[in-house]
Amino acid sequence: MDRNDFGQLVAALRKEVFDEDGNRLTQKELANRIAAERPATALTEVVIGKIERGERANLEADSLQDLADALNLTMGERHTFFLLGIGLDHPQIHPAFASEPALLDGVLQMLADIQIPALLLDHYLDIVAVNRAVLQLYQLPSSLITQLQNLPTNLNLLTFIFSPLFQAVRAEMPADSWHRFAVGNVIYFRRVSLPYRMTPYYESLLKELRRNREFRFFWEQALYEEKL
């Protein structure tokens, strides 16, 4: 990821953190938070401003660690954040050896052939495709499938599982199973969406998800339960 994009990512991650009064963290507050934990840090308010504007060409490992700590990143988010911070981008982190259409065709064929429940998601956890076993597992009625197909926006997995449309399925799950299912999906969402946190689509999606009280709960729980 180039410096400009990485700077925008840092700014977006900072704005996802709130202070005790419920206000988004400013550059100064982020710098103060870092200095309180590690007084020798190089990340002053001025330096953070330069990073967010894409004016810093190189970041030391300690600085990346300081940012990850202050931004409350999960373990999965940190792994991706560090790779992006040293200049790698998606094709380098996840190299592909075929064209995108060929890869998609292959995955769709796998979904059709596989006998266990499986679905294809993008990096926002928007649902691209599901196989028949998923429909059978959750016993989704044809009327619900029609509703989902006619939605005016992309069908997002998290939007779906925290919605009334999933309530009947959830009611069949033991409470601890639902908890693990929900927090596991939020942990995965936080990790795979990290390189795209500065995009308008992600901002719109997160704003919509955060309207849901349960999503907000599991978003915070992800910080404590990632090892489960």
- Kindly indicate the confidence band of residue 71, based on its pLDDT and cuts at 50, 70 and 90: very high
**What is the tens place of the pLDDT at every residue in 81-140?**
999 998 877 677 777 666 778 788 888 898 888 889 888 899 999 988 888 888 777 776
At 63 the pLDDT is 93
Model confidence, pTM? 0.85
Output b/e per residue, 195-209; b: 16+ Cβ within 10 A. bbbbbeebeebbeeb
| Alpha-carbon gap, residue 171 to 167, rounded angstroms | 6
**What is the tens place of the pLDDT at every residue in 165-192?**
888 889 989 999 999 999 999 999 999 9
List 120's β-bridge partners, or say none: 129
> Which residue carries 């679905």 as its tokens?
119
| Angle of CA points 117, 122, 128, to nearest 5° | 55
Q: Is the pLDDT of residue 69 over 90?
A: yes
At 155 the pLDDT is 84
| Alpha-carbon gap, residue 101 to 196, rounded angstroms | 22
Domains of the chain: 3-93 (1.10.260.40), 100-225 (3.30.450.180)
Q: Token pair of 156, please?
A: 């997002």
- Kindly indicate the confidence band of residue 72, based on its pLDDT and cuts at 50, 70 and 90: very high
At 96 the pLDDT is 67
List 127's β-bridge partners, or say none: 121
Cβ neighbour number for residue 219 with a 10 Å cutoff: 20
Task: Let me know how long the chain is.
Answer: 228
Closest CA to 68 of 91, 93, 41: 41
18 SS3 class: strand
The DSSP-derived string for 107-132 is: HHHHHHH-SS--EEE-TT-BEEEE-H
| Alpha-carbon gap, residue 138 to 133, rounded angstroms | 9
Q: Is the pLDDT of residue 227 over 80?
A: no
**What is the tens place of the pLDDT at every residue in 6-60?**
999 999 999 999 888 888 999 999 999 999 999 989 999 999 999 999 987 678 8
